[in-house]
Amino acid sequence: MIRVETLHRHFGGFRAVDGASLEIATGSITGLVGPNGAGKTTLFNVIAGVLEPTSGKVFMDGEDITGMPPHALFHKGLLRTFQIAHEFSSMTCRENLMMVPGAQSGETLWNAWFGRGRIAQEEAGLLKKADEVLDFLTISHLKDEKAGNLSGGQKKLLELGRTMMVDAKIVFLDEVGAGVNRTLLNTIGDAILRLNQERGYTFCMIEHDMEFIGRLCDPVIVMAEGKVLAEGSIAQIKANDAVIEAYLGTGLKNKETVG
Ligand SMILES: Nc1ncnc2c1ncn2[C@@H]1O[C@H](COP(=O)(O)OP(=O)(O)O)[C@@H](O)[C@H]1O
Ligand SMILES: [Mg+2]
């Protein structure tokens, strides 16, 4: 679905992404790991149109999408989760979902003048959809809770829920499990697996927790110093000497987590 060709993103003289090439297969849950500073988030930002590449190309289903703005990619079904913006924290979970741009068919002037009935109908549809999403994510009980009152993990679930209000094809998740307790992490993992299996979502996720990666991701791509170092199953990655080498000196090698 996504092909990245010799992508560079430099900051001044610093090569945050330094000639990375990779592919994300349709229907996969592809993991992206690597030591801190490897360029993972920068790569995501370039793919999602948040940052312009210095050079290189990004293709989606064969179409050159290099440098397209996020909203254009959003309409193509390429989504990146965002933290719930501060100004939405006083809105309820349900309202947050109903506000997702693109979920509404749009309040054109025509609709505003002649389509009041249609808008009411659409609101009811949106409400139903939001409730279905909350149900899917097992957070129905939080529907009238203000987003600002949610725990870190519940916020992550709501962020994931926002992608379900539109027709997503591929969703990029940057450390969705960071700071989330085990129970909620499992709920998030279940939601990702179900979205993948039941709705055909493709995922690419940056994650530190190797147990979480191992449960969800195949293949796993390893980045180091702006380049793709290795790709394979979690078992292959863990046994790869170059990967182990890349984590040496980060102090993370012998711990549960890499990333
Ligand atoms: N806007 C920026 N300006 C300058 N340097 C940046 C910027 N964004 C990221 N970097 C640098 O690029 C490198 C890669 O960062 P990042 O993509 O966030 O890595 P990762 O997500 O793998 O930890 C880091 O050394 C970081 O300091
Ligand atoms: Mg990062």
Judged by its nearest atom, the ligand closest to the C-alpha of residue 173 is 2
- Please report the pLDDT score of residue 225 as a whole number: 95
Examine the pLDDT at 239 and tell me if it is beyond 80.
Answer: yes
Per the CB < 8 A criterion, the answer to whether 26 and 202 are in contact is yes
Gap between the Cα atoms of 155 and 220, Å rounded: 25
Examine the pLDDT at 108 and tell me if it is beyond 60.
Answer: no
Would you state the structure tokens that stand for residue 173, as one six-digit string?
A: 């998740």
Give the confidence band of 251 by pLDDT, cuts at 50, 70, 90. Answer: very low
| Residue minimizing CA distance to atom 16 of ligand 1 | 39
Of 28, 31, 25, 11, the C-alpha closest to 228 is 31
The response to whether residue 222 sits with its C-beta less than 6 Å from ligand 1 reads no
Examine the pLDDT at 191 and tell me if it is beyond 50.
Answer: yes
Per the CB < 8 A criterion, the answer to whether 80 and 48 are in contact is yes
Provide the b/e sequence for 69-105 (b: ≥16 CB within 10 Å). Answer: eeeebbebbbbbbeebeeebeebbbbbbbbbbeebbe
Judged by its nearest atom, the ligand closest to the C-alpha of residue 250 is 1
pTM of the model: 0.88
The response to whether residue 40 sits with its C-beta less than 6 Å from ligand 1 reads yes
Domains, the chain, ordered by start: 2-87+167-248 (3.40.50.300), 91-149 (no CATH)
Distance 18 CA to ligand 1 centre (A): 12
Of 113, 133, 5, 111, the C-alpha closest to 57 is 5
Gap between the Cα atoms of 42 and 18, Å rounded: 11
Radius of gyration over every alpha carbon of the chain, rounded to an integer in angstroms: 19
Which of 1-10, 123-132, 195-204 bottoms out in mean pLDDT, i.e. has the lowest?
123-132
- Please report the pLDDT score of residue 101 as a whole number: 75
| Residue minimizing CA distance to atom 17 of ligand 1 | 39
Give the confidence band of 247 by pLDDT, cuts at 50, 70, 90. Answer: confident
Gap between the Cα atoms of 217 and 233, Å rounded: 8
Mutate to test the pocket of ligand 1, among 11, 22, 47 (most ligand atoms within 8 A of CB): 11
Query: Side chain identity at 88, as an amino acid letter?
Result: F
Q: For tokens 């809105």, what's the residue? A: 91
Examine the pLDDT at 254 and tell me if it is beyond 50.
Answer: no
Listed in sequence order, the DSSP H helices in the chain are 40-47, 70-75, 93-98, 109-114, 116-136, 152-163, 182-199, 210-216, 234-238, 241-247
Give the confidence band of 112 by pLDDT, cuts at 50, 70, 90. Answer: low
Give the mean model confidence (pLDDT) for residues 27-52. Answer: 96
